[in-house]
Amino acid sequence: MIDKTAREARAIRDARTPFAEALTDLGLMEPFFHRSAADIDRLIEAAVTGYIDSMQDQAAHKERTGTVLDDPIPF
């Protein structure tokens, strides 16, 4: 867990609604319905941290052409 700034803490709280909407749309709300706000915030923080870490790691490596088509086809 990071020592969040007030802005980061608010952003995580603000992300609860779209997170809940996505869970509902996917039919996954039931297992999360009775979780605490702290538990939900932990999940959001983990996803955001993983995303940011990946973006920073990717930025450290030059892409071949810089286009989306550099990625291998997933199928």
**Predicted local confidence at residue 58, as pLDDT:** 82
**Predicted local confidence at residue 15, as pLDDT:** 97
**Predicted local confidence at residue 53, as pLDDT:** 92
**Predicted local confidence at residue 47, as pLDDT:** 95
Which CA distances in Å does 65 have to 50, 70, 75? Answer: 25, 7, 21
Q: Where are the beta strands (DSSP E) in 9-70?
A: none
Give the integer Cα–Cα distance in Å for 41 and 48: 10
**Predicted local confidence at residue 44, as pLDDT:** 96
Residues of the chain with pLDDT under 50: none
End-to-end CA distance of the chain: give it in Å, rounded. 36
pTM: 0.74
